[in-house]
Chains A and B, each alone.
Chain A
Amino acid sequence: MASTTVAGRPAPSDDKRWRQVDVRMRRLGYRPDGLIEVLHTTQEVFGYLDDEALSYIGESLGVPPSKVYGVATFYTHFTLKPQGLHTCVVCAGTACYINGASALLGAIADKFAVKPGGTTADGKISLLKARCLGACSMAPAVVVDGDVQGHMGPGQLVKLLEEL
């Protein structure tokens, strides 16, 4: 049986992960201003935000679909597409830029045919570009599956990704 929110709306499916979303919304008192917090939680548990999730959240918080979609697409952290098995974030902040971040992106594009914001054809790696990770002392820096790695070189990064 699908779990039910206090507001009486059944979750879109039996997927147990909806419970986490429901708990978050309950903690926030179903306030419309909790929208971003709920989107964070939903993306954490499902990996991305699909139409179903967006409309469920909107209905539960009393936020119109246009606004939910507007918020979800305004912030670069939110993604409406499923992500690859692994993620590689290349920092393109100033320190990383002048220390060769473009060469890292170039090497990935050559080897895996993927651009920032995209996922490889085999669904293995999603490539993202970050504005600045604050890891400037280790420039250029990348984050592979959550691990920050500094002083990265193009060859080293390609090897790292191949070994994933």
Chain B
Amino acid sequence: MSNQTAEGAGAARPHRQPEPLLPEGDVRVSANVCQAAGCLSMGSEQLFENLREAVLAKGLDDVAVRRVGCLGLCAAGPLVLVPEQGRLFERAQPGGPQGVSELIRSLSGDGDGGRPLATDPFFSHQVKVVLERCGTVDPERLEDYVATGGYEALAQAVGTMTPDDVIAEVVRSGLRGRGGAGYPTGLKWRTVAKSAAPEGRFVVCNADEGDPGAFMDRSVLESCPQQVLEGMAIAGYAVGANRGYVYVRAEYPLAVKRLSSAIRQAEHDGHLGRDIAGTRFDFQVEVRIGAGAFVCGEETALIASIQGGRGTPRPRPPYPAASGLWGCPTLINNVETFANIPAVITRGGDWLNAIGTERSKGTKVFALAGAVTNTGLIEVPMGLTLRQIVFEIGGGLAEGRRFKAVQTGGPSGGCIPKSLLDMPVDYESLAQAGSIMGSGGMIVMDDRTCMVDVAKFFMDFCREESCGKCLPCRVGTEEMYRLLERITTGKATRAHLAQLESLAGMVKATSLCGLGQGAPNPVFSTLRYFRDEYLAHVDDRACPAGVCPITQESPGMPVEGALAGTRRSGGAS
């Protein structure tokens, strides 16, 4: 503790970037340049500088140039948003088709350049709660967040509500955990608040976004880290915790940097730390950086990792809500869940409850990727159909390819076929279809993707990421991988296929944690909807998508021989 105080006292006002070019008089238009990882890698830092210089050189004294977070349409970066004119400039790099000169021309005039947002389906279908400030505030400027109503919810909660009031509001909102499982958030908060805590409680933000193909949490942390911190502080007040941790993947250095800077600034201005908003409520947040283990997204493994150990899960109960970090009651929510909280407090639980479907309330952020035209980050009300997401928001498939499936929920999820495109996207419908909501990765696959190969890809992932603690997962994922390897190389028989199905059922039923329990899901869902592709590999020794390296000679022995061999091994087991 003394350490903390000494550091706090020694720190000067947090380092701020050079002030963006903000005119002294009224701002007529602003150019919001995306500074999230996607656009940065396409040169948006340089674009920001070029634009600033050009605006100065032209003497445009009513144009503001700002750095902002993710603008969503990552496929077409670097992006510049002109909010006053409702226009988005794509691939806005110097020398590109829409270089700075077109931007400058549009900014100085009536704004006829770029892509109009109001009529564009990519934007018009979206409802932004979590991403409300992405694209309007500078992720590294606390002032921007506060100027758009930031930390009002925290002040309102600690100043005018009791912790029970706060929990009641979250319960009323119907918000469910956005990390994947969809557990009711208010209920979890109440359990933590009620658990006896002689040595205090903790709030943990799970930002170990490990699902391949998911980048929602990364974008939120890179675009508006303060909103997540505010949600955590409100949670801390509600459950009676004074300390919080954000567990972020090491693969997200920019998110770590912006989050750390956000914590320093919020502590400096009294939104975090001691006596928040003039009350006796204290809340301190620390960042913990993961070290590349997918299983650490599982809550008990995450706790083990924060405590400095190997990230292996343990059986539940006790749940972390009763016994978590250092045995204390611990509230663990995902980044997106916390980012919903400020709006729930200021606008009320009923407001969020009015968005979405019967049992899935509010919005969901999805990372749209794969064979779709508009790859990027979107936020939609629960209950929109997959077809609307893929074909209207996503703009359909790239290069006129044919849609085959959309994969949701990462390695624990499944592949949803064309016949279910009109299904509403909510927790229940996705589960019924054999997939899960998951954290929000949505990968579109076209006719060039082999579904058996996809199942093998996820199994390879799970066998490498299995922590090795429980046998069904450690050995089962490896064996399932070998069977899939056999199928994709044309060395399998129907008996192998049956063995795969039975093993998948066993691993699902007997694994210790979500990693093993979910690992068979990609196999189940591809078998359910794309069994013909499996059969083509097994019976015809052919890969319909032309992906798998099957050569007609490869079995090495005639089919009858292979069958006989299998029968023998089947009899022995």
Contact = CB atoms under 8 A, between A and B. Distances in A.
Contacts of B370: 94-95, 98-99, 136, 139
Contacts of A31: 308
Contacts of B259: none
A99 B448 CA distance: 10
Interface stretch (B156-164, B186-194, B291-299): B291-299
B308 A94 contact: no
Nearest to A139: B369
Interface centre among A63, A77, A95, A147 (most CB of B within 10 A): A95
Interface string B365-384: 00101110001100000000
A32 B308 contact: yes
A130 B210 CA distance: 11
A21 B467 CA distance: 28
Nearest to B407: A94
Nearest to A134: B215
Contacts of B218: 134
A85 interface: no
Interface string B250-276: 111000000000000000000000000
A37 B293 CA distance: 15
Interface string B496-508: 0000000000000
B214 A40 contact: no
A133 B251 contact: yes
B310 A74 contact: yes
A92 B214 CA distance: 13
A2 interface: no
Interface in A135-153: 135-139, 147-150
Contacts of B251: 130-134
Contacts of B309: 33, 35, 67, 71
Contact of A137 (B211, B250, B371, B376): B376
Given A75-B292, A131-B292, A138 B41 contact: yes
A149 B41 contact: yes
Interface residues of A, number: 41
B483 interface: no
B301 to A, nearest CB: 10
B336 interface: no
Contact of B291 (A76, A94, A97): A76
Nearest to B216: A134
A135 B308 contact: no
Interface in A1-53: 27, 29, 31-37, 39-40
B281 interface: no
B371 A98 contact: yes
B123 interface: no
Interface string B430-471: 000000000001010100010000100110010001010000
A75 B247 CA distance: 15
Interface string A107-139: 000000000000000000000001111111111
Contacts of A98: 370-371, 443, 445, 449, 454
Interface centre among A35, A138, A148 (most CB of B within 10 A): A138
A71 to B, nearest CB: 6
B215 A39 contact: no
Interface string B27-44: 000000000011011100
Contacts of B214: 132, 134, 136
Interface in B307-328: 307-311
B307 A33 contact: yes
B441 A70 contact: no
Nearest to B41: A148
B38 A97 contact: no
A56 interface: no
Contacts of A147: 41
Nearest to B74: A137
Contacts of B40: 148
Contacts of A97: 212, 457
Contacts of B307: 33
A36 B210 contact: no
A135 B449 CA distance: 20
Contacts of A133: 251
Interface in B345-399: 367, 369-371, 375-376
A73 B251 CA distance: 17
B308 A35 contact: yes
A71 B37 CA distance: 30
Contacts of A149: 41
A35 B375 CA distance: 38
A70 B312 CA distance: 12
B63 to A, nearest CB: 28
A137 B369 contact: yes
A75 B311 contact: yes
Contacts of A99: 370
Interface string B1-39: 001000100000000000000000000000000000110
Contacts of A36: 288-289, 291, 305, 308
7 contacts: A71-B310, A95-B443, A97-B457, A131-B210, A132-B251, A135-B41, A150-B38
Nearest 6 A/B pairs, CB to CB: A137-B74, A75-B291, A93-B212, A134-B215, A136-B369, A77-B292
